[in-house]
Structure 1
C-alpha cells in the first residue's frame, strides 16, 4: 500500500478505498471542468463580475455532492447487511439516528440562533428540521437499500 496523507481519510476496507479513490478522481475532473467553465465565463463576460464566493462555493459544493452521491448510490456502505432481519435492524437504526439528528439540530439551532418567538418562525424551524431529518433518513435508507441489494446479488 502506498503511504499518503490521503490514506487517513479513506476507509480501511480495500474495496471501499478503491471505489472512494475513483469517486475522488471523478470529482476532481468535474471540478477541473467546472473551474475552466467559470474562468471562461469570467474572461468572456468581464462586465458580469461574478462573485468569487459564489464561484468557490459552487465549485466546492459540486465536488462534495458528487462524491457523497456516488458513495451513497454505489451500495458499498453496508457490506455486512445480507438478510432481511439485518436490513430491518439497520433501517431502525437509521430511523433512530435521524430522530437524534432532529433533536440535536433543534437544540443547536435554539442555542445559536435562539428560540423562535413568532408562529411563522416556529413553522420555518419545524419545516427546516423535518426536511433535514427526512433528507438524512432518505440518504441512509437509499444507501442501505442499495447495499442490501448488492450484497444479496453477490451471495446469489
Structure 2
C-alpha cells in the first residue's frame, strides 16, 4: 500500500481532494459504483463504500496502487495525477493536439526529471508561473541556479 500524501510536492493537493475532484469530473457517480470496481483487503473485487468514504475524508493514508489505477480508469482521469497530484486531471487526447503541440509532447516524454524541471522553468519564464505552480517553479529555479555537472548531458565530472 502506498502513502500518496507522502508523495505530494509543494502546492499539490491531498489525495482525498484529488479523489473528490475526480468524482466530480466524472459526473458524481455513486460511491457504491466506484467501490464495486476496487479491490478489497481480501484481494477480491468489490471494496466497501466505507473504504471509499475513508479515502474521501482523508482518514486513511493508504490506497493500493491497483485501486488508484482502477479508480482513475473508472472516473476517466489521469492515474498519475490522481496518485501524485502532478499533471492534469483530464487526460489530453493526443488526437486533439495540433502537429506542433504533438511534437512537443512527444519530445517531453523523452526528458529525464532534471531536464523536465528545467523546461518548466523556461516555460514559466515565458508565460509566468501562476497559482501553486509559482511555488514549485521557484524551487526548481533555485536548484537550476547551481546545476550539478552530473545532470548536464555530455559533461563529465572529475573522476569520470
Same fold (TM over 0.5): no
Higher helix share: 1
If asked which structure has higher relative contact order (CA below 8 Å, sep 6+), I would say: 1
TM-score (norm 1): 0.29
